[in-house]
Every structure is written in structure tokens, then in C-alpha cells.
Amino acid sequence: MTSSRSKPGAKIERPAPLLHAHSHDYSRLLKRWRAVAPTVGLAVEVFAKADGHPLLHLYSKKSPPDAPSVYFSAGIHGDEPASTEALLTWVERNSEIARRLKLRIFPCLNPWGLIHNKRSNADGLDLNRCYHHSSMPIVAKHRRLVLQSPYDLALILHEDYDALGAYLYETSPAKPHWGEQIIAAMSPHLPPDSRRRIDTSRAKDGIIRRKITSETMLEWPEAFLLHFHGATRVFTIETASEFHIDSRVEAHVAAIDAAIALLID
């Protein structure tokens, strides 16, 4: 009989260290955002407190007059840490490109959830179903800031435990569509999700395109607010939670790279 147990003294192979460790550490995330902001010409403000934690809003102080306007948000679901980590990583790696854009960034909309690895906030609410009304003070403040400017592009970053790879929602009618190129850019890190049905929508090669009307969902996700506000292109980007954190982060970074390249080309 053989034993699979290592012999005493045998060398144990250790896994490679994580490139994107500490993804649930909110204070570390804030420190990194505050450090990178001046290098990109971003103003930083605390626009609200959520469950005792500051919510950051960053925006370009001065950008070229014809700069494309871009909206970014992440971390509305706290158990989706590749979203918050990737957004920050992209800005850290792309300060020069970021300076050429007119940016509005919400780096983490649910810090309590991020710290506790929960989808909801501390009251058990899914914030991403609260954008059809303004009765929640945090959502009301967020909505006011969102509506202050038009956007050529909105990228909203998420993850999904049921996903088999990378997928996205492309809900704006702008053509040519960009979804295929964004999914292709993500594919060295995560395969496209092969499901033909994702939640209640039909999907093909990781892309969900659906027409949004006021009846599509009565409880609006954040993306609907951007859509009804008239953002030219709105993408919700999703990575599969059960893949390695580094692959998920790099897939999101690649998605942002691809979308920004298409925008400024």
C-alpha cells in the first residue's frame, strides 16, 4: 500500500504568492486611492458614510476640453472583491491615459460588504436594487453625483458565483457593439462564460444584450440609472467568483483597457 502523505522532511511545494492579496482590506484600498489620485489629477471627496465607513468619490479636476467622459464604479456587492481591486489597479497602471479622460469614479459603494464578504450592506439590503428611488440617503447622494455630467462610457464592475467565466451586459444601442472585443480582451485571463442563459437573460459567448425599458426591472440596478441618464455606452462586466483572484482582477483590468482603447481610438 502506498501513502499519499509527504515523508517527514520532504520539500513542500508552496503556492505562488497572490499578486492581488488583501482585496477585502478597505482601509488599504482607501490609502491606495488617496496615493494614486494626485498622479492622475483626481480630486477625492468623501460623499457619504455607509455603515460607519467613508464612501469615496473621485473626479478629474481638470481634463482636456474634448476629453471623453467616463464613469467607473465597483464594489456595490461586497463579495465581489476583484471589482474594487481591478478598478484601482487599472488607474495605478494607467495614470497617463487616465489624465486624458474626464473621470468620475466610485471605487467601492459597499465597504461594509467588502470587509465582511457580503453582497448586501449591514442592513441586509442589496444596494444594486435601490436605484429606482431616492429614499435611501446613500443612494440619493450617489444618484445626485451620477446625474451631474453626461458620460460617453460607463463601466460597472461585478462578480458572480454562478458564472463559468467572463460575461457582460451591453445595454446601450450604440453601434458598432464593443462587447465581443471586451470579452476577447478578458479571455487570456478568464474564458467567456458559455451559458446560453444567464439569470433571466439570453446570452451568447458571454454577452447579454437586452433592451432596457422602465418595465425591464422594477427595482433598478445602478446600471439602469446610467442607462436612463443617457450614457452613450453602459457595460456591466462580470467575472466568475470561483476562479483565482489574480485571474479575475486581470480580466477586469483587461476589460477596462479594451473599452478605453475603443473609446479613445
Site of interaction with Zn ion (CB under 5 A):
77, 80, 158
Phi, psi (degrees; rounded to nearest 5) at 235: -125, 135
Question: Looking at beta carbons only, is 192 or 221 nearer to Zn ion?
Answer: 221
Cis check: omega of the bond before 173, within 30 degrees of 0: no
Question: Looking at beta carbons only, is 60 or 206 nearer to Zn ion?
Answer: 206
Tell the smallest beta-carbon distance from residue 98 to Zn ion (Å).
24
Contact 168, 208 (CB under 8 A): yes
Tell the smallest beta-carbon distance from residue 160 to Zn ion (Å).
7
Tell the smallest beta-carbon distance from residue 3 to Zn ion (Å).
44
Q: Please give the full DSSP string across 119-159, using - where no structure is assigned.
A: SS-TTS--GGG-TT---SHHHHHHHHHHTTS--SEEEEEEE
Q: Which cell numbers hold the place of 33?
A: 486611492
Grid coordinates 496615493 are at which residue?
35
Tell the smallest beta-carbon distance from residue 224 to Zn ion (Å).
14
Question: Looking at beta carbons only, is 69 or 236 nearer to Zn ion?
Answer: 236
Tell the smallest beta-carbon distance from residue 44 to Zn ion (Å).
24
Contact 183, 166 (CB under 8 A): yes
SS3 109: coil
Question: Looking at beta carbons only, is 77 or 102 nearer to Zn ion?
Answer: 77
Question: Looking at beta carbons only, is 42 or 50 nearer to Zn ion?
Answer: 50
Contact 132, 126 (CB under 8 A): no
Question: Looking at beta carbons only, is 98 or 212 nearer to Zn ion?
Answer: 212
Contact 258, 233 (CB under 8 A): no
User: Exposure of 79 by Cβ count < 10 A (0-12 exposed, 13-18 middle, 19+ buried)?
Assistant: middle
Tell the smallest beta-carbon distance from residue 240 to Zn ion (Å).
12
> What is the Cα–Cα distance from 205 to 180, expressed in whole angstroms?
8
Tell the smallest beta-carbon distance from residue 158 to Zn ion (Å).
3
Question: Looking at beta carbons only, is 118 or 209 nearer to Zn ion?
Answer: 118
Phi, psi (degrees; rounded to nearest 5) at 57: -130, 125
> What is the Cα–Cα distance from 51 to 110, expressed in whole angstroms?
9
